[in-house]
């Protein structure tokens, strides 16, 4: 049969570099081998009283819970972690924490805005048919605006205060941060209300005070390039490089400006911590890829070697 029988002496595989042959063998798909149809012995059902305690315990991973091959399983130790190293475990934790943090902050903001959300829900559900129709036509604009601002602003307060930022969960600490965020939000609303009352009465508005640094008496200011208006920022917060607020600074209240900057700085700090935590894994992955690429280039050339690796 020659080539078909696999007995040809001119086997081209023998001429390959040993390292390349090993690589191809590793990359070859595993051959499918059907599992043998093992007939399970029919044994009478056992009860706790009928179990023979003299037989060695069989781990749950064994396919034969009737005691077969128990002598082989007695030295079995389950793998502690399948990721293969502390760097991988650290990276997995960072990725998981990064995914969870946004949802965790939003859940806490929803809890802090429970009353505003309830008012929005009741707006759609209460009143006679005329009132409910009017609510649907206006989409409960007033209640919707109050709730939307509460949720957005509370989320920024939570981020600025470092809620869910630690890799080690501390329930008491997170609850204190959540309560403090709610407190600062209502302090901001209270100041805005006093400013409106002062305008209505024709009096001077109360002095602005930092929410995060109440002891700070001097704030910072910047000038709008278009209007040349002075924009005040409480607490001495300076505008960081690359900072892009959700709205132009002149359209934000002083406390909102301070909050936007604090939340932005907290985000940068958290991103830095994520990078530091995942750096061992990233270095390991990069080194492994470089080695694979170097070996593949020596076999196939630079173009194909970079592609396959």
The pLDDT value recorded for residue 161 is 95
pLDDT attached to residue 29: 60
Would you say residue 297 lies in a domain?
no
- pLDDT, residue 197, reads 95
Residue at 71 is within a domain: no
Give me the domain span that covers residue 180. Answer: 86-280
Determine, yes or no, domain membership for 128. yes
| CA–CA distance, 99 with 8 (Å, rounded to integer) | 57
Question: What is residue 255's predicted lDDT score, i.e. its pLDDT?
Answer: 94
The CA-atom distances, in angstroms, between 68 and each of 52, 74, 98 are 14, 11, 46
Closest by alpha carbon to 156, among 284, 63, 39, 247?
247
Residue 157 falls inside a structural domain: yes
Total domains in the chain come to 1
What local confidence, expressed as pLDDT, does residue 133 receive? Answer: 76
Is there a domain that residue 90 lies in? yes
Low pLDDT (below 70) residues in the chain: 1-65, 68-95, 98, 128, 217-229, 277-288, 290-291, 295-296, 299-309
Contacts of 256 (CB under 8 A, 6+ apart): 153, 188
Give, in order, the Cα–Cα distances in Å from 220 to each of 11, 234, 243, 284. Answer: 80, 6, 16, 45
Residue 162 is predicted with a pLDDT of 93
Q: Name the nearest CA neighbour of 295 among 15, 23, 96.
A: 23
Q: Do the domain assignments include residue 6? A: no
126 within a domain of the structure (yes/no): yes
Q: Is residue 74 part of a domain?
A: no
Token pair, residue 164, equals 């869910």
Q: Provide CB contacts within 8 A for 119, sequence distance 6+.
A: 143, 146, 147
Helix/strand/coil percentages in the chain, nearest 5:
60, 5, 40
């Amino acid at each position: 049969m020659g080539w078909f029988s696999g007995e040809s002496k001119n086997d081209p595989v023998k001429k390959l570099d040993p390292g390349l042959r090993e690589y191809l063998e590793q990359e070859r798909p595993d051959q499918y081998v059907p599992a043998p149809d093992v007939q399970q012995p029919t044994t009478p059902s056992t009860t706790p009283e009928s179990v023979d305690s003299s037989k060695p315990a069989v781990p749950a991973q064994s396919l034969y819970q009737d005691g077969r091959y128990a002598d082989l399983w007695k030295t079995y130790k389950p793998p502690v972690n399948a990721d293969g190293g502390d760097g991988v475990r650290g990276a997995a934790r960072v990725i998981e924490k990064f995914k969870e943090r946004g949802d965790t902050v939003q859940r806490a903001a929803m809890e802090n805005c429970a009353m505003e959300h309830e008012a929005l829900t009741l707006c759609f559900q209460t009143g006679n048919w005329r009132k409910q129709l009017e609510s649907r036509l206006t989409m409960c604009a007033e209640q919707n605006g109050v709730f939307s601002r509460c949720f957005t602003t509370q989320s920024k307060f939570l981020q600025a205060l470092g809620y869910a930022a630690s890799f080690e969960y501390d329930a008491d600490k997170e609850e204190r941060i959540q309560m403090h965020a709610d407190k600062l939000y209502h302090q901001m609303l209270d100041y805005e209300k006093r400013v409106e009352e002062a305008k209505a009465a024709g009096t001077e508005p109360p002095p602005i005070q930092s929410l995060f640094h109440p002891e700070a008496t001097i704030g910072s200011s910047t000038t709008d390039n278009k209007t040349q208006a002075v924009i005040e920022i409480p607490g001495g917060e300076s505008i960081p490089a690359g900072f892009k607020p959700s709205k132009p600074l002149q359209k934000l209240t002083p406390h909102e400006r301070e909050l936007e900057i604090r939340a932005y700085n907290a985000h940068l700090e958290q991103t830095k911590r994520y990078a530091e935590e995942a750096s061992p894994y990233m270095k390991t992955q990069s080194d492994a890829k470089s080695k694979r690429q170097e070996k593949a280039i020596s076999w196939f050339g630079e173009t194909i070697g970079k592609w396959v690796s």
